[in-house]
A and B are shown apart, each in its own frame.
Chain A
Amino acid sequence: MNIFVLMKRTFDTEEKISIVNGKINEEGAEFIINPYDEYAIEEAIQVRDKHGGEVTVVTVGSEEAEKELRTALAMGCDKAVLINIDDDVEEQDQYTTAKVLAEYLKDKNPDLILAGNVAIDGGSGQVGPRVAELLGIPYVTTITKLDIADGGNVTVVRDVEGDEEIIETSLPLLVTAQQGLNEPRYPSLPGIMKAKKKPLEELELDDLDLDEDDVEAKTKTIEVLLPPKREAGKILQGDIADQVKELVQLLRSEAKVV
């Protein structure tokens, strides 16, 4: 089976966010594989181990993303591809990323493509479905279970705001991973050693026969701002029963939310 994982390098969830010169400050920040993409990688490896084939992890990003690609290889992916368009395309958005990924994938005959359902930085959740539509294949988002039968029929459990849908579909297919799909493994020491020798291909826009105009963003960020700082509030005092009474009073008359 020819399996691809779409991965994004993101800020570590532990990071605090600050803004310098109107942009998110990346100086000194720790980066990780987008947590939802980790589920996608784990599932891809499990599908390969069961059905055979190869897992290629692909990212659109800067050179620095090589570190996260190596981590994915250490987890067990077979090949990695880094598509770096930063020098060629000034304005990028999800339209850009999806077009680039689809252009890369279109002659690769993927059987299964996996991605995270959302990236924890940009938070749009668009790229997976966009890529599937560009490739003309079906997709199911926010999945928590994936079963592939030998004939290529697929049963998927999808999380829909807490309820579950059991969905029947078939390969080729794109799915996006929701939390609960699996428990992503940590790279093992031998895995990390092996990863250093696995192929990591670097591509630019030219290699994909795309021009800047083909992928130019349709949207633009004009300002980045921090949320208003929350002041620590009132810690109630006294007997617990009295505190509870006071709290209800405050919620009613001061905060006016009940």
Chain B
Amino acid sequence: MARKVLTLAEVRDGSLRNVSFEAIAAAKTIAEGGEIVSVLVGDQVQAHANELIYRGADRVVVIEHPNLKFYTSDGYSQALKAVIDNEQPEGIVFGHTALGKDLSPKLAIKLDAGLVSDVIAVEEEGGNIVFTRPIYSGKAFEKKIVTDGIIFATVRPNNIAPLERDESRSGSVEALAVEIKDLRAIVKEVVRKTAEGVDLTEAKVIVAGGRGVKSAEGFKPLQELAEVLGGAVGASRGACDAGYCDYSLQIGQTGKVVTPDLYIACGISGAIQHLAGMSNSKVIVAINKDPEANIFKVADYGIVGDLFEVVPLLTEEFKKLKVHS
């Protein structure tokens, strides 16, 4: 059954987030041959439209308005509702990002629809679109279907492979004028706290520190390693509770759930709550002084040793690798 499916593209720091392309890939499975319409919302975002076509969108609808410069649930839901009314899609896919998480339930109510959040896989199975999503922070998974109404899902960044980029693809780019008004919550200021713009949930490599890091200063070698690998720094609850770093870095059952290609756990004992947040990473490396630490049970590779000795050596070794390649 061919379905028209709408996806929301997200622009951050002037470029499209990868999850925009992953949403298109998910939409492709849901569409079963139907049309994929990507929606670009913001203030001066039209320049990104063609890239969405190259990545698999058949058409792009652009909604630009000064009131859409910052995300607000009121502003964005007005924009999206207008496209949905126009297009009458049978499926919708957003990224399960801060924006997608905040916006999707509101739209689901406006559409009197269900919503499958935080999806890591989509398949067509016996006539149903089946979504797989983690529950209990990744300690288990559930497969879900939509039983009534529009098929609406948010996809977790880094889990669904984007379609191959194809510059020979073409498609129409249409502007839609929507009046965006009556915003009841207004963004006064954005305070950047993340250092390099590599978002934890989208990072391919994460270097995480636990209590073993011992101080805020102790995170420095981890940051250097993350930098060499183009990754992000994360932390266990222990490190956050001890005040070594901000709670926004916390990985675990409370905190973020991450699935990078490479997770390097430094001085993390591996409490079950932490494992829930990272054990679905592709490859896990553990560095810990205690050979009995739980983290070694889930690690693909382990080094028993002092992180302050091992991590700088690792950074050096990766630097050499970079020079050679």
Where the two chains meet, the residues of A that have a C-beta atom closer than 8 Å to any C-beta of B are 11, 13-14, 16-17, 19, 24, 35-36, 91, 93-95, 98, 120-130, 132-134, 138-142, 144, 155-156, 159-170, 178-180, 216-227, 230, 232-236, 240-241, 243-245, 247-248, 250-252, 255, 257-258
Contact = CB atoms under 8 A, between A and B. Distances in A.
Nearest to B113: A218
B181 interface: no
A166 B140 contact: no
A134 B108 CA distance: 10
A254 to B, nearest CB: 9
A227 B121 CA distance: 13
A231 to B, nearest CB: 9
B102 A223 contact: no
Closest 9 interchain pairs by CB?
A218-B114, A138-B184, A233-B300, A169-B185, A129-B105, A162-B248, A133-B109, A219-B114, A180-B247
B108 A179 contact: no
Interface of A is mostly: mixed
Interface in B81-139: 97-98, 101-102, 104-106, 108-110, 113-118, 128, 130, 133-139
Contact of A130 (B108, B139, B143, B205): B108
A125 B300 CA distance: 32
Nearest to A240: B305
A7 B227 CA distance: 40
Given A139-B73, A220-B145, A223-B143, 5 more contacts: A134-B109, A138-B73, A163-B191, A165-B189, A170-B184
A256 to B, nearest CB: 9
Contacts of B187: 165-167
B309 interface: yes
Given A163-B191, A169-B184, A179-B247, A124 B143 contact: no
18 contacts: A13-B254, A124-B115, A126-B115, A141-B102, A159-B98, A162-B193, A162-B249, A163-B193, A165-B187, A170-B184, A178-B247, A219-B115, A224-B142, A226-B141, A235-B291, A247-B314, A255-B282, A258-B318
A93 B317 CA distance: 50
Contacts of B1: none
A120 B105 CA distance: 17
Interface in B276-325: 276, 279-280, 282-285, 291, 296-305, 309-310, 313-314, 317-318, 321
B214 interface: no
